[in-house]
Amino acid sequence: MKARTTKPAVTKLQAELSQPVPRDSLTWLLLAQALVVLPFTLHVPVSIMALWLGCTVWRVQVFRMRARLPGTWVKSGLLVGTAGGVYLARGSLVGLDAGAALLVAAFVLKMLEVSTRRDARVLIFLGFFCVVVGYLFEDTLLWALFSLLPIGALLAALIGLQQSALASRPVATLKLAFKLMAQAVPLMLLLFVFFPRLDPLWSLPQPSNKGLTGLSDNMAPGDMAELSRSPALVFRASFEGAVPARNQLYWRGLTLEQFDGRRWSQSSRAQSVQVPQWQKRGEPLTYSIVMEASGRPWLPSLDVGETSLPEVRQMSDFRLQRRRPVEQSLLYGVTSWPQSVRDAQPTEQIQRQDMQLPAKGNEQARQWADDLRRRYARPDALVEAMLGYFTQQPFHYTLKPTPSGNDSIDDFLFVSRRGFCAHYAGAMTFVLRAAGIPARVVAGYQGGEISSDGQYLTVRQFDAHAWVEYWQPGVGWRSVDPTAAVAPQRIEQGLEQALAADEDFLQDAPFSALRYRHVPWINAMRLSWDDLNYGWQRWVLGYQGQQQLQVLSRWFSGFEAPVFVAGIIVSLGLVALWLFKPWRRESDPQLRLFNAFERLLARHGLRRMPGEGAVAFGRRAALFFPRQAGAIEAFVEEFQAQRYAGRSGSSSQLRGRLSALRRQMPWRLSAARGSHS
Amino acid sequence: MIPPLTPFWQRWLEKRIPPASRVTLDHRRIFILPTRTGMTFAAVMVLMLLVAINYQNSLAYGLTFMLMSVGVLTILHTYRNISGLILSAGVARSVFVGEPVQLRLRLESSGPSHHALGLGWEAVNVQPGDVTPRGLTEIELTLPAERRGWLRAPRLRVESVFPLGIFRAWSWLDLEQTALIYPRPLFGTMPLLKGVQPHAEDSGQVTQGTGVDDYHGLRGYQPGDNRGRLHWKAYSRGQGLLVKDFVDLSGHDLCLDFMALGGDIEERLSRLCYWVLELSQRRQPFALSLPGFVSAVGSGDAHRETCLRALALYGDRP
């Protein structure tokens, strides 16, 4: 009779997919969902979290036969309600934030719909997708490690859908899931290293980093104080060669050229594309920077920096600016020439923008400027005089300045004399401009912490700093830092050392390990954790484009394709070996030895007939090889005895007889005997 | 499957997996392809890769590659789950046309365990089963008996989508399972051989003729009595469970004759079958006469089997 033809695939599919979800699998699904949703807590509206709790409780009640699954109307109501909630909370239904919220909501709501295996699979695949989207928000080492849990749970849920006794044993299921993941690691690494990193195929909404603190394009003195309370990481830099001295580490962010009497802000002309004039001088510094997401387009660099990163250009004020804001951590290499001459020729920008002052206000400061101009003809001398003033007068470096009135610069310079970098830089620039010297405020970071092994530098938000640069004809721009005159510790050692005893360093972050730098073991742990994170940033998160090309050409120059293919084959082969364990296939040692015996004789031209027993074969072999008849008979006799007469001989005995036979067999194969077999 | 291809496919299968009563699944016999869930999985992978590319996110790349690798390794896992499984056919009991044939299968493991196996005659309605390491599982599959004679079981489908359901490994096996199907018993008058009937003169009224049967009377029900003979009308009248008792014709050797019946061959065989069963149950010796087959007078299970076999195979050239 012939086999029947298979029924249409649809029938099969329906039969398979409409099977109800097993209880164990549902438990896995609930657990996996909790693990997937958890990291989204900070990134989706609270209502979604409430929805998740509600759906979970509902589904558990259904599971306990205390409630029913929702009908179509309830489901559509929930869907519309959720979309409305997301719209209210995010102000839109497009964009990454809203999109992620909707995705999580769909993932959560789908749980209420799970009744068949097909639903469960949809839920699991949605879960994988949610984990990937979660990476757009959180990409730290810890979160990456944590995300192995939801992935494992989702795989376990997928295994739990099988109709097998194994699927009802949670430990075995989870073990299999993690085994699958562990076996996948070599292949994954190969793909990760070799898969070409393409440029984005189309632009997608980026995660919004509105909440991030950092330098902004305008600065009131208070903003800088705000930043100095945050221990958040800004970037890490590793130098080729020695790290320069601390007082050389002025990381330019941007320049603030517009003053309205209170705030310094970026001039509108700073956005226009204008190639700056400069001549490279002196020894260059080469370093690479891994920058955290800042939500802003400018990239910190030492003066005067050049980078090969695409979409980044040097702007007219020598800052590096990217076309798009930095929304994810970014790796870039910079070469800086600290001794370059910048803008030796006057430009219209310098003549107008960098001389700009409000029409009135701060009369006392203007007067002082006039006075200084009369006394010092050379700008350098004037600057020296100002720094001398800061040193001699009782100026005080503090993050808690006294509030100032309308003439904030007058108040600061002549009354309170208390302030921090933003005050000093702002006041100095104002006076310089009033004295007829083009000047501007540079905002950026100063210093940084050198890692325990001296390999790289970590710059945090509290390293934010503002300083001054002024322009002279023929010389160009020159930087000067009034803060260094007032509080040299700030420049030489850092903010913590510069603050007076009554001011707490990082008082808003009592648990930050940075506060406990004086406790050696905490500090050692913090520094190694920093090292680990830097490696993570640099080698995992930063493994894109340029970095990949560099690594590939350094390690496998020209052999990428063969190495990749060989790697795939080897790792698949290893897993296959591990899975099939061919060496264990014939687990019966006697049979294995008998097979070896057969192979030995076959090599010499005698094959066992199908159905021929061991004794009959042995007898035939003894006739065939009369010289080795004794050894053959001994082996067969031992085999028979062990196998059938129940003699408890060790397999080594049998092996001994086999090797005795092997020794007796002629070493060369006799070709003539092949015809007998 | 596309109909014109089916014979080719059958022939190819016949050559690749020749019929055998004991089969070990190995690479020659196992086919493996992604399931529809696997296609969805692949589509999700592509989506995830797009996210990774467009956001240039290394972790997204990492997870996508991890799941891709898991997917690829699942081929090995699914293959391993089914390979090394030893299937052998058990003995099938004979049944009558219209009843389901129970076919026993022995699944043995030659080493590792085999999870979530599905066995069936077609892709739908597979029966689940697990085999423990070096263990043995017996599975019963049913097949409807539609025609009398030898029933050759169709190719058996063994499949598994373990562990993730994204690949399906399967095989079509011919385990040479056969079962003898007897004709469907059909009630009718006892077709006794005319003339040669021993003691025909004594019980002439039980030959053919309408309205005549060997109904004798009613007696009380005893456990073990045939339920078909319960007198339900009497029961409904409240007379208790009574059984229609039939005349004990022991002492008269009966000969059931094919030629004494009218109708087509199948109907005649069905009636004969009924009487073979009936008389055997009454433990009354009888003989059976078919064209080309005459049994000796006898009783007992062996005799009954011989007669039923003759009925089942009537007209069947071996």
pLDDT on residue A37: 93
Candidate from A1, A162, A198 with C-beta closest to B53: A198
Tokens read off for B44: 């999700």
Interface test with A, best of B63, B82, B117, B132 (most A CBs within 10 A): B63
What pLDDT score was predicted for residue B79? 94
- B80 contacts in chain A (CB < 8 Å): 579-580
Q: How far is CA A408 from the centre of its chain?
A: 43
- CA distances, B53 to each of A136, A312, A453, B57 (Å): 12, 20, 34, 7
Q: What pLDDT is stored for residue A147 in this prediction?
A: 94
Q: Are residues A328 and A447 in the same domain?
A: yes
Q: What's the pLDDT tens digit per position in A26-59?
A: 889 999 999 999 988 888 888 889 999 999 999 8
Mean pLDDT of A295-323: 86
Q: What is the per-residue pLDDT for A195?
A: 92
- How far apart CA A449 and CA A457 sit, in angstroms, is 5
Digit-coded pLDDT (tens) for B258-295: 888 878 888 888 988 998 898 888 888 888 888 888 88
Average pLDDT, integer, range B96-122:
87
pLDDT at position B250: 43
Which residue is closest to A136 within chain B, CA to CA?
Answer: B57
- What are the structural domains, with CATH classification, of chain B? 3-182 (2.60.40.10), 184-214+249-318 (no CATH), 216-248 (no CATH)
CA distance A328 to A193: 20
Burial (Cβ within 10 Å: 0-12, 13-18, ≥19) of residue A662: middle
- Predicted confidence at residue A549, as pLDDT, reads 84
How crowded is residue B69: how many other Cβ atoms within 10 Å of its Cβ?
26
Sign of the alpha-carbon dihedral angle for B247, B253, B256, B259: negative
What is the pLDDT confidence band of residue B207, given thresholds at 50, 70 and 90? very low
Mean pLDDT of A622-650: 81
Q: In 3D, which of A290, A345, A327, A333 has the Cα closest to residue A309?
A: A333
Distance from CA of A446 to the nearest CA of B (A): 30
The answer to whether position A393 is within a domain reads: no
| 3-class secondary structure, A210 | coil
Query: pLDDT at position A14, please?
Result: 55
What H or E segment, with its residue span, contains residue A333? strand A330-336
Query: Residue B78 — very low, low, confident or very high, per pLDDT cuts 50/70/90?
Result: very high
Selecting from A158, A184, A585 the residue whose C-beta is nearest the C-beta of B73 gives: A184
Do A127 and A254 belong together in one domain?
Answer: no
pLDDT score at B40? 95
List the one residue out of A134, A123, A192, A191 whose CA is nearest residue A158.
A123
* More reliable by pLDDT, A178 or B153: A178
Which one is predicted more confidently, B317 or A404? Answer: A404
Q: Decide: helix, strand or coil at residue B242.
A: strand
Q: What is the DSSP string of A358-413?
A: -SS--HHHHHHHHHHHHH--SHHHHHHHHHHHHHHTT-EE-SSPPP--SSHHHIII
Cβ distance of A200 and B76 shorter than 8 Å: no
Q: Is residue A542 assigned to a domain?
A: no
pLDDT at B110 over 80: no
Picking from A132, A163, A167, the nearest residue to B48 by CB comes out as: A132
- Residue A60 and residue A150 in one domain: yes
Note the pLDDT of residue A586: 54
Residue found under tokens 């309605």 = B125
Q: What is the mean pLDDT of residues A517-524?
A: 82
Q: At A669, is the pLDDT very low, low, confident or very high (cuts 50, 70, 90)?
A: low
The two three-digit tokens of residue A504, written as one number:
């707490």
Between chain A and chain B, the number of residue pairs with CB atoms below 8 A apart is 183
Residue B31 — very low, low, confident or very high, per pLDDT cuts 50/70/90? very high
Distance in Å from the first CA to the final CA of chain B: 33
Query: Does A100 share its domain with A158?
Result: yes
Taking CB atoms and an 8 Å cutoff, what residues of chain B touch A200? 53-56
**What is the Cα–Cα distance from A524 to A534, expressed in whole angstroms?**
15
How many angstroms separate the CA atoms of B82 and B160, rounded?
A: 7
Please check whether residue A365 is in contact with residue A355, taking contact to mean a CB–CB distance below 8 angstroms: no
For helices A589-603 and A651-664, what crossing angle results, to 10°?
10
Residue B166: pLDDT above 90? yes
Q: By mean pLDDT, which of A124-133, A662-671, B184-193 is the weakest? A: A662-671
Tokens of A318: 């020598």
User: Does some domain include residue A404?
Assistant: no
Q: What is the mean pLDDT of residues A99-107?
A: 91
Examine the domain organization and report whether A148 and A241 are in the same domain: no
Q: Could you tell me the CA-to-CA distances from A533 to A235, A319, A540, B60 in Å, in that order?
A: 12, 27, 10, 18
pLDDT value of position A6: 39
Cβ–Cβ below 8 Å for A2 and B115: no
pLDDT higher than threshold 60 for residue B215: no
Binary contact (B115, A540; C-beta < 8 A): no
First to last CA, chain A: 39
Q: What is the pLDDT of residue A19?
A: 74
Residues 6+ away with beta carbon under 8 Å from A497: A489, A490
Residue A587 has a CB neighbour count (10 Å cut-off) of 12
Write the single-letter amino acid at A320: L
Rounded CA separation A463/B235 (Å): 102
pLDDT tens-digit readout, A471-492: 988 888 999 999 888 888 887 7
Q: In this predicted structure, what is the pLDDT of residue A273?
A: 67
Residue type, B294: V
Q: Which pLDDT tens digit goes with each residue over A380-397?
A: 888 998 889 888 888 888
**Cα–Cα distance for residue pair A297/A325, rounded to 1 Å:** 4
- What is each CA distance from A481 to A424, A485, A560, A594, B78, in whole angstroms? 8, 7, 50, 89, 69
- pLDDT, position A30: 93
Q: How far is B107 from chain A (nearest CA, A)?
A: 15
* Chain A: closest CA distance from residue B61 (Å): 7
ipTM of the complex: 0.77
Check CB contact under 8 Å for A203 and B54: yes
Task: Assess contact for A615 and A643: CB atoms under 8 A.
Answer: no
Could you tell me where the DSSP H helices lie in A412-461?
A: 421-434
Cα–Cα distance, A84 to B144 (Å, whole number): 57
Residues of chain A with pLDDT > 90: what percent? 18
A421-464 pLDDT, tens digit each: 888 898 999 999 998 889 999 999 998 888 877 788 889 888 88
Q: Which of B30, B55, B108 to mutate to test the interface with A (most CBs of A within 10 A)?
A: B55
Whether residue B69 and residue A203 make contact (CB cut-off 8 A), yes or no, is no
Q: pLDDT tens digits, residue range A543-584? A: 887 788 888 888 888 888 899 999 999 999 999 998 887 776
Q: Which residues of B touch A572 (CB under 8 A)?
A: 72-73, 76
* Closest to A219 measured CA to CA, from A546, A442, A535, A480: A442
- A373: which 2 tokens? 């101009």
Task: Give the CB-side neighbour count of residue A308, counting CA atoms within 13 A.
Answer: 8
- Closest Cβ–Cβ partner in B58, B69, B80 for A544: B58
Binning pLDDT at 50, 70 and 90, where does residue B33 land? very high
Of A5, A9, A187, Cβ closest to residue B6: A5
Contact A3 B174 (CB under 8 A): yes
Among the candidates A507, A523, A539, a domain finishes at A523
Q: Which residues contact A519 (CB under 8 A, 6 or more apart)?
A: none
| Domain hosting residue A638, numbered range | 589-676
pLDDT at A212 over 80: no
Task: Give Cβ neighbours of residue A245 (< 8 Å, ≥ 6 apart).
Answer: none
- The pLDDT score that the predictor gives to residue B289 is 86
Which of A205-214, A304-313, A510-519, A598-607 is least confident? A205-214
Chain B nearest CA to A507, separation (Å): 34
Omega cis (within 30) before A304? yes
Confidence band (pLDDT; 50, 70, 90) for B256? confident
Closest-CA distance, B23 to chain A, in angstroms, reads 17
Of A6, A203, A328, the CB nearest to B122: A6
Spatial distance between the Cα atoms of A464 and A446, rounded to a whole number of angstroms: 6
DSSP secondary structure, A509-522, as one string: -TT-GGGGTTSHHH
Q: Which helix (H) or strand (E) covers residue B233, if one does?
A: helix B232-236
Encode pLDDT of A232-274 as tens digits. 888 989 888 888 888 889 999 888 888 888 888 888 777 776 7
Cβ contacts of A384-388, under 8 Å, gap ≥ 24: A386/A428, A386/A431, A386/A432, A386/A482, A387/A480, A387/A482, A387/A485, A388/A485
Q: Could you tell me the strand order of the sheet in which B254-257 lies?
A: B254-257, B286-290, B293-294
Residue A255: enclosing H or E segment and its boundaries?
strand A250-256
Give mean pLDDT, residues B106-132. Answer: 84
Asked whether residue A81 is domain-assigned, the answer is yes
pLDDT grade, residue B201 (50/70/90)? very low
Q: Kindly tell me if the per-residue pLDDT of B177 is higher than 50.
A: yes
Last residue of a domain, one of A493, A523, A553: A523
Contact A204 B116 (CB under 8 A): no
Note the pLDDT of residue B221.
Answer: 73
Give the span between the Cα atoms of A463 and A447, in whole angstroms. Answer: 7
Residue A349 confidence (pLDDT)? 77
* One domain for residues A146 and A243: no
Picking from B58, B70, B155 by the largest number of A CB atoms within 10 A of its own CB, the best residue to mutate is B58
Q: What CA–CA distance (Å, rounded) separates A468 from A423? A: 11
Is B66's CB within 8 Å of A6's CB? no
Give the phi and the psi of residue B307 in degrees, each rounded to 5: -65, -45
Closest chain A residue to the Cα of B70, Cα to Cα: A184
Q: Alpha-carbon distance A310 to A315, whole Å?
A: 14
* Cβ–Cβ gap B122/A167 under 8 Å: no
Predicted confidence (pLDDT) at residue B203 exceeds the cutoff of 70: no
Of the candidates A5, A135, A136, the beta carbon closest to that of B1 is on: A5
Mind telling me how many Å the CA of B58 is from chain A's nearest CA? 5
Burial of A205 (0-12, 13-18, 19+ CB in 10 A): middle
Distances (CA, A) of A198 to A542, B49, B61, B126: 14, 11, 11, 45
Nearest CB to B59: which of A9, A135, A584? A135
Is A505 within a domain?
yes
Contacts of A135 in chain B (CB under 8 A): 57, 59-60, 63
Across the interface, do A135 and B57 touch by the CB < 8 Å criterion? yes
Chain A residues inside the 8 Å CB shell of B124: 7, 11-12, 15
In terms of domains, do A512 and A612 share one? no
Test B121 with A4 for CB contact under 8 angstroms.
Answer: yes
Tokens (6 digits) for A283: 């020894």
Which pLDDT score is estimated for B41?
96
Residue A126 domain-assigned (yes or no): yes
Q: Residue A677 in contact with residue A670, Cβ under 8 Å? A: no
pLDDT for residue A514? 73
Cis, bond preceding B163 (omega within 30 deg of 0): yes
What is the number of structural domains in chain A?
3
- Asked whether residue A480 falls in the same domain as residue A611, the answer is no
CA distance B42 to B90: 41
Average of per-residue pLDDT values in chain A: 83
Given this model, what pLDDT does residue A17 score? 55
The residues of A that are catalytic are: 421, 465, 481
pLDDT at A150: 95
- Give the residue on A whose Cα is nearest the Cα of B63: A132
Kindly state the average pLDDT of the residues B294-309: 87
Q: Do A166 and B6 touch (CB under 8 A)?
A: no
Looking at beta carbons, which residues of chain A come within 8 Å of B77? Answer: 180, 579
Residue A617 lies inside a defined structural domain of this protein: yes
Kindly state the average pLDDT of the residues A147-151. 95
Specify if A528 maps to a domain: no
Cβ-based contacts of A3 with chain B (< 8 Å): 10, 13, 121, 154-155, 172, 174
Mean pLDDT of A308-337: 85
- The Cα A635–Cα A658 span in angstroms is 6
Interface test with B, best of A6, A118, A131, A135 (most B CBs within 10 A): A135
Q: In sequence order, which residues have a C-beta less than 8 Å from that of residue A599 and are 6 or more positions away?
A: none
CB contact (8 A) between residue B54 and residue A200: yes
**Domain final position from A523, A542, A565:** A523
Kindly give the pairing relationship between strand B136-144 and strand B167-173.
Answer: unpaired
Say which range, A153-157, A231-235, A500-504, B184-188, has the weakest mean pLDDT.
Answer: A500-504
Using the predicted structure, report yes or no on whether residue A511 has a pLDDT greater than 80. Answer: no
Residue with structure tokens 């970590």? A458
* 3-class state of residue B294 by DSSP: strand
pLDDT value of residue A322 = 87
Cross-chain residue pair A188–B128, CB shorter than 8 Å = no
CA pair distance A531, A453, nearest whole angstrom: 9
Q: Are residues A25 and A149 in the same domain?
A: yes
Give residues with Cβ within 8 angstroms of A436, minimum separation 6: A355, A373
CB contact under 8 Å between B76 and A575, yes or no, is: yes
Chain A hits for B118, CB-CB cut-off 8 Å, are 163
pLDDT of A523 reads 82
% of chain A with per-residue pLDDT over 70: 91
